[in-house]
Amino acid sequence: MAPKKRHLAPLLLIAPALIVLTVFLVIPYLNIILMSFRTPGNGVPYGAGWTIANYGKFLSDPFYLFQIANTLWIGVVTTLVCLVAGFPVAWQLARGSNRWRGLYYGIVLAPLLIGIVIRSYGWTILLGNNGVINRALIGAGLVDGPLPLMYNGLGIIIALTHVLLPFMILPISSALQGVDPSLEAAARSLGASRAITFRRIVLPLALPGIQAGSMLVFVLAISAYVTPALIGGLRVKTMAVTVVDALIDTFQWPFGSALALALSVIGALSVIAFARLTRTKWKAP
Amino acid sequence: MTELSIRGLTKLFGATRAVDQISLDITNGEFVSLLGPSGCGKTTTLKVIAGFEHADAGSIAFDGNDVGELPAEKRDIGMVFQNYALFPHMTVVQNLAFGLEMRKRPRQEIQTRVAKLLDMVQLSDLAERYPRQLSGGQQQRVALARALVIEPRILLLDEPLANLDAKLRDEMRVFIRELQRRVGITTVYVTHDQAEAMAISDKVVVMFGGRIAQMGAPDEIYDRPRSREVAGFVGRVNLIDGKVSAVTEAGCRLRTGFGEIDIACPWRPANGDSLTAVLRPEAITLAPTDATGLGWGGRVLSAYYSGNTIDYRIALTDGSELQVQTFPTRRFQPGDAVTVMASGASFWPLAEAS
Q: Is residue A50 within a helix (H) or strand (E), and if so which, with residue range? A: strand A46-50
Q: How many domains does chain A have?
A: 1
Mean pLDDT of chain B: 90
In a domain, A242, yes or no: no
A contacts of B146 (beta carbons < 8 Å): 186, 190
- Say yes or no: ipTM exceeds 0.90: no
| CA atoms within 13 Å, Cβ hemisphere of B312 | 31
Name which of B81, B102, B132 is nearest A191 (Cβ-Cβ).
B102
Alpha-carbon gap, residue A221 to A208, rounded angstroms: 20
Q: Which residue of B has its CA nearest to A280?
A: B89
Length of chain A measured in residues:
285
Supply the DSSP string of B220-271, one letter for each residue: HHHHS-SSHHHHHHSS--EEEEEEEEEE-SSEEEEEETTEEEEEE-SS-PPT
How high is the pLDDT of residue B292? 63
Contacts of B151 (CB under 8 A, 6+ apart): none
Q: B78–A189: do the CB atoms touch at under 8 Å?
A: yes
CB contact under 8 A, B85 and A186: yes
What chain A residue is nearest to B156 in terms of C-alpha separation? A189
Q: Does A178 touch chain B (CB under 8 A)?
A: no
Q: What is the pLDDT of residue B159?
A: 92
| Chain B nearest CA to A189, separation (Å) | 5
Which residue type sits at B279? Answer: L
| Chain B residues inside the 8 Å CB shell of A182 | 81-83, 85
Give the model's pLDDT for residue B193. Answer: 92
Shortest CB distance from B73 goes to which of A193, A201, A205? Answer: A193
Neighboring chain B residues of A198 at a CB cutoff of 8 Å: none
Asked if B87 and A188 come within 8 Å (Cβ–Cβ), the reply is: no
Task: State which residue of chain B sits closest to A282, comparing Cα positions.
Answer: B89
The answer to whether A263 and A239 are in contact (CB under 8 A) is yes
Contacts of B271 (CB under 8 A, 6+ apart): B244, B245, B246, B247
Q: For residue A57, what pLDDT is reported?
A: 87
Rounded Cα distance between B30 and A185, Å, is 24
- Which residues, listed in sequence order, are joined to residue B208 by a DSSP beta bridge? B211
Mean pLDDT of the B103-118 span:
94
How many beta carbons lie within 10 A of that of residue B124, not counting itself? 15
- Which residue in B50, B88, B103 is closest to A189 by CB distance? B50
Partners of B77 on chain A (C-beta within 8 Å) are 189
How many residues does the structure list for chain B? 354
- A243's CB contacts (< 8 A; 6+ apart) are A256, A259, A260, A263
What is the reported pLDDT for A1?
45
pLDDT at B73 over 50: yes
Tell me the CATH number at A149: 1.10.3720.10
Q: Is the pLDDT of residue B354 over 80?
A: no
Q: Does some domain include residue A213? A: yes
Task: Report if residue A4 sits inside a domain.
Answer: no
Number of Cβ pairs closer than 8 Å across A and B?
Answer: 69
Identify whether A258 is part of a domain. no
Which residue in B33, B30, B42 sits closest to B2, CA to CA?
B30
| Exposed / middle / buried, residue B204 (Cβ in 10 Å: 0-12, 13-18, 19+) | buried
- pLDDT tens for B8-17 read 999 999 888 9
The predicted pLDDT at position B180 comes to 92
Q: Report, in angstroms and rounded to the nearest whole number, the Rg of chain B calculated over CA atoms.
A: 25
Task: Give the CA-trace dihedral at A237, A238, A241, A247, to 10 degrees.
Answer: 100
**pLDDT recorded at residue B208:** 94
Residue A137 domain-assigned (yes or no): yes
Q: Are strands B238-247 and B211-216 parallel, antiparallel or unpaired?
A: unpaired
Q: How far is A270 from A68, CA to CA, in rounded Å? A: 12
Among B50, B73, B85, whose Cβ lies nearest the Cβ of A191? B73
In a domain, A57, yes or no: no
Touching B: A residues 190-209, CB under 8 Å = 190-193, 196, 200-201, 204-205
Domain span including residue A180: 69-236
Task: Name every chain A residue with its beta carbon within 8 A of the beta carbon of B73.
Answer: 188-193
User: B303, B334 in Cβ contact below 8 A?
Assistant: yes
Over pLDDT 90: what percentage of chain B? 66
Q: What is the DSSP string of A88-140?
A: HHHHHHHHS-GGGHHHHHHHHHHHHHS-HHHHHHHHHHHHSTTSHHHHHHHHT
What mean pLDDT comes out for the span B49-57?
A: 93
**Probe site for chain A from B48, B102, B129, B190 (most A CB atoms < 10 A):** B102
> In degrees to the nearest 10, what's the CA dihedral of A224, A229, A230, A231?
80
Q: Does B128 touch chain A (CB under 8 A)?
A: no
When mean pLDDT is compared across A235-244, B226-235, B319-328, the lowest value belongs to A235-244
Lowest mean pLDDT among A175-189, B155-169, B251-265, B283-297: B283-297
DSSP character at residue B132: G
pLDDT for res A285: 52
State mean pLDDT over A208-213: 93
Q: What is the pLDDT of residues B219-274, one digit of tens each?
A: 999 999 999 999 999 989 999 989 998 888 878 888 888 888 888 888 888 888 88
What's the pLDDT tens digit per position in A43-86?
777 888 888 888 888 888 898 888 889 999 999 999 999 999 99
- B83, A201: Cβ pair inside 8 Å? no
A196–B85 C-beta distance less than 8 A: no
The pLDDT value given to residue A3: 53
Cβ contact, residue pair B88, A205, below 8 Å? yes
Q: What is the three-class DSSP state of B43?
A: helix
Cβ separation B102–A190 shorter than 8 A: yes
Tell me the torsion sign for CA atoms A207, A212, A217, A222: positive
The residue among A182, A184, A190, A196 with the most chain B CBs within 10 A of its CB, best to mutate, is A190
- State the pLDDT at residue A11: 86
Across-strand partners of B191? B35
Burial of B338 (C-beta count, 10 Å sphere; 0-12/13-18/19+): buried
**Which residues on B lie below 8 Å from A180 (Cβ)?**
83, 85
Residue B215, phi then psi, degrees to nearest 5:
-135, 150
Q: What is the pLDDT of residue A19?
A: 92
Report yes or no: B50 at the A interface, CB cutoff 8 Å. yes
How close, in Å, is residue A175 to chain B by CA atoms? 13
d(CA B159, CA B191): 5
| In a domain? residue A62 | no
Q: Is residue A38 part of a domain?
A: no
pLDDT at A165: 93
Residue A168 clears pLDDT 90, i.e. is over it? yes
d(CA A56, CA A77): 29
DSSP per-residue letters across B279-325: E-GGG-EEEETTS-S-SEEEEEEEEEE-SS-EEEEEEETTS-EEEEE
Q: Report the C-alpha gap between A234 and A126 in whole angstroms.
A: 18
**How close does chain A come to B122, measured CA to CA in Å?**
22
Judge whether B103 is closer than 8 Å to chain A, CB to CB: yes
Which segments of chain B does DSSP mark as H helices, in order? 42-50, 92-102, 107-120, 136-148, 166-183, 194-200, 218-223, 228-233
Is the Cβ of A188 closer than 8 Å to some Cβ of chain B?
A: yes
Q: Which residues pair with B325 in a beta bridge?
A: B311
C-alpha closest to that of B48 among B57, B35, B39, B40: B57
Q: How confident is the model at residue A236 (pLDDT cuts 50, 70, 90)?
A: confident
**Where is pLDDT greater, at A112 or B42?**
B42
- Asked if B98 contacts B146 with a C-beta cutoff of 8 angstroms, the reply is yes
Q: Which of A183, A188, A189, A193 has the highest number of chain B CBs within 10 A, making it the mutation to test binding with B? A: A189
CB of B104 within 8 Å of any CB in chain A? no
Quote the DSSP letter at residue A148. Answer: -
Q: How confident is the model at residue A281 (pLDDT cuts 50, 70, 90)?
A: low
pLDDT confidence of residue B74? 92
Chain B residue at shortest CA distance from A193: B73
Region B332-346 average pLDDT:
89
Burial class (CB in 10 A: 0-12, 13-18, 19+), B41: buried
Percentage of residues in chain A having pLDDT higher than 90: 36
